[in-house]
Each structure stands twice: as structure tokens, then as C-alpha cells.
Amino acid sequence: MHTKDTLTVPIGNTDRILFLDILRGIAILFIFLANIAHLSGTTFYSDELAASFATAKLDHALEVFFSP
């Protein structure tokens, strides 16, 4: 039976599964990348304001390729 002391001790590096750590890191990266447009606030710009930026043509080209 486990005692309270054995349940609160962190596991050692040899007990970790490296593949799962890598998989978790990749998942967090893709969650961040999926939300980066929303987190930047550009979704709240009006069309006129977005068109006034120097990167407006590039933004439009990327929107054509990456919009659903």
C-alpha cells in the first residue's frame, strides 16, 4: 500500500517517458500557433485599418492560403 510520503515524491528522470514529454511540447506549440492570430488582436481591426498597414498585401495573400 502507498503511503502519503511515496505519493508526493516526484518521479525520477529515468521513470519519465521522453516521447510523451516531446509529444506534450509539440501539442502546446501547435495550440499556441493556432491561437496566435487571435491573441495578437488583429481580428478586431476594421477592414480600413487593416488595409492601411504596410503588410496588407502579404496579409491578404496569407489569408487566401490559410483561411478555411
3-state secondary structure of 55: coil
In the predicted model, what is the mean pLDDT of residues 33-50? 82
Structural domain for 55, as ranges? 15-66
Please give the torsion angle defined by the CA atoms of residues 53, 62, 57 and 36, in that order, rounded to the nearest 10 degrees: 0
The answer to whether residue 1 sits within a structural domain is no
pLDDT at 68: 63
Span 15-40, pLDDT tens digits: 788 889 999 999 999 999 888 877 87
Q: What is the pTM of this model?
A: 0.48
The answer to whether residue 30 sits within a structural domain is yes
The answer to whether residue 59 sits within a structural domain is yes
Number of domains present in the structure of the chain: 1
The answer to whether residue 7 sits within a structural domain is no
pLDDT at 9: 77
Cell output for 61: 495573400
The answer to whether residue 6 sits within a structural domain is no
Check pLDDT > 70 for residue 3: no
pLDDT at 18: 87
The answer to whether residue 35 sits within a structural domain is yes
Closest CA to 45 of 66, 64, 63: 63
